[in-house]
Structure 1
């Protein structure tokens, strides 16, 4: 694509009108996804996690949520590969979230069971996903820039190598950080800026937090606004913990937030109990005032009272907000890294 090419995507992107299922290797069978495949995909995701990200895996509830979103159609946007014994060995999803404001994104998800890697299954899968992504882009009248995106863990370099061979570029790096909660047990949380009240997340605040999230993340790499369906899906998961999340208010305006998820199924993998900090943000006028540190301190205090041993989060290492420095100052240290890959159209 030429730089600054802002023709409609249906003029910029070429895609085959019909998309055949992947084929091979011999003895393996491919089919499209079904609405009822969530249990199969959850078991497969668990097997993949052992190599790709050993400390966590998708829960059945999370997979069901992904398959059930209004903008994802399993029969056209996903495939499953079954081995000679009929057991699933690979799957892929292609998702284009609705209502972009500045960037059209198509996400490629899934992967191959590590036992069955290096057989060409991943190559077949990625080729199918990329062509389906092009079909979705070619159906759009948008004149916005577009990215086809996938993520690869440093722990599984074969995934990144496959993406690079297929023309994807490593565009951004995300680091997982962990903090021992006990070190904060006897420390007062950093004070909030004058005029700010910090409170737990409530259903009444939810829509205001969504709008604040969209405002706070407008300058984050690759971010687009969270729609109502996407947001309500996230806060509706059983793993979301409003009591361990914290919101910063000035009068009735949300100016900052930290959200928490707790998945006890991950604790055995991790070797410790933990809370996952999914979102951290402050709206632009309240940055550089210590608000994020105050919110995180309040969350760590809540984790300590809950008896959680560690806090875990992921950070864009090039974030314009200086987030990495905020986290390291509070005692967060890096553990693993993921790479965001993309092809731009």
Structure 2
């Protein structure tokens, strides 16, 4: 590893980062392709402290590997930080992955002490289980599997939207109701494992960015109040690489008092129909296997099928 240059990431590394991630995809095959614009969004995340909590290895202009920590905007008893990273296939089996994981855990302690020192620190890694060598690497550093998520997919053709339950009204996203979307998401996710409220800056970075598809994102109201929401994203790099235009339902939320009343099914049915009408080939979503609202069953009922499992690995520090 001594022939590599090691330094923190910067926003100027967007193109090199995209090159690394796309090289990883050729081997790992997890369905993640990137443009420099996509990776830039990750690098300007307001809760990614690149100077204190990122590290990349370079071989000339080629990024051989990287890690970065994303801390939470708020935390109560537990502060779960995300450790993200990867190693270029041409540089694997050289100890780079282990060095990056070790650096990530150390960096997590730094940002944790700065932002939520009174909470318990847990470092999370969330990756598809099919990635060769990943389980062995994180286990060797003390990580254990704590949660499973399933990618679900639905091929699209001519579809009819589900009937909207009586007393409800559906509307597409607009600048005028964007805050209603965020409010419903935050309230609906209060009892979701590991979730914390998304402040406006994080919402803009993670949701209403260049991958956001407002025409396939919907809000459901009851008596004028927003009670459910669905947000769709689509990655142009995936479409270019695969020829498949995928409508990814990245967030679906229903206020607790309106669950089991067909809200999520109505939103999903509307989004599926509109996505099909607009020429999308497929819809997808990542579903928590232990979701408190029973999302896995809702997706199965709507015609989605599981295709890939993600493992959430955790290290209590």
Alignment TM class, shorter chain as reference: over 0.9
Residue 77 (structure 1) aligns with: 53
Asked if 2 retains the 8 angstrom alpha-carbon contact of 1:56 and 1:270, the reply is: no
Q: CA deviation at 1:72?
A: 2.7
Q: Distance in 2 between matches of 1:145 and 1:288?
A: 34
Asked if 1 retains the 8 angstrom alpha-carbon contact of 2:52 and 2:111, the reply is: no
Residue 163 (structure 1) aligns with: 138
Residue 94 (structure 2) aligns with: 119
Q: What residue ranges of structure 1 are gaps of 5+ in the alignment?
A: 1-24
1:90 to 52, 57, 65: 65
Residue 103 (structure 2) aligns with: 128
Q: Distance in 1 between matches of 2:176 and 2:130?
A: 41
Q: CA deviation at 1:271?
A: 4.2
Residue 19 (structure 1) aligns with: none
Q: What residue ranges of structure 2 are gaps of 5+ in the alignment?
A: none
Q: Distance in 2 between matches of 1:269 and 1:169?
A: 33
Structure 1 window deviating more from structure 2 (52-61 vs 87-96): it is: 52-61
Q: Distance in 2 between matches of 1:80 and 1:142?
A: 26
Which structure's CA Rg is the greater one?
Answer: 1
Q: Distance in 2 between matches of 1:65 and 1:238?
A: 9
Residue 29 (structure 1) aligns with: 5
Residue 280 (structure 1) aligns with: 252
Alignment of 1:261-340 (within 5 A): 261-340=233-312
Q: Distance in 2 between matches of 1:80 and 1:127?
A: 13
Q: Distance in 2 between matches of 1:97 and 1:332?
A: 31
TM-score (norm 1): 0.87
Residue 205 (structure 1) aligns with: 177
1:144 aligns with 2:144: no
Q: Distance in 2 between matches of 1:140 and 1:247?
A: 33
Q: Distance in 1 between matches of 2:181 and 2:76?
A: 19
Q: Distance in 2 between matches of 1:170 and 1:124?
A: 21
Q: Distance in 2 between matches of 1:133 and 1:250?
A: 42
Q: Distance in 2 between matches of 1:302 and 1:102?
A: 41
Structure 1 window deviating more from structure 2 (313-322 vs 60-69): it is: 60-69
Asked if 1 retains the 8 angstrom alpha-carbon contact of 2:52 and 2:110, the reply is: no
The DSSP-based 3-state class of the residue aligned with 1:338 is strand
Tell me the C-alpha RMSD between the 2 structures: 1.7
TM-score (norm 2): 0.94
Q: CA deviation at 1:169?
A: 0.9
Residue 23 (structure 2) aligns with: 47
The DSSP-based 3-state class of the residue aligned with 1:265 is helix
Q: 1:336 to 1:328 in 2, by over 3 A?
A: same
Structure 1 window deviating more from structure 2 (327-336 vs 69-78): it is: 69-78
Q: CA deviation at 1:253?
A: 1.5
Number of residue pairs the alignment of both structures matches: 317
Q: Distance in 2 between matches of 1:270 and 1:318?
A: 31
Asked if 1 retains the 8 angstrom alpha-carbon contact of 2:24 and 2:87, the reply is: yes
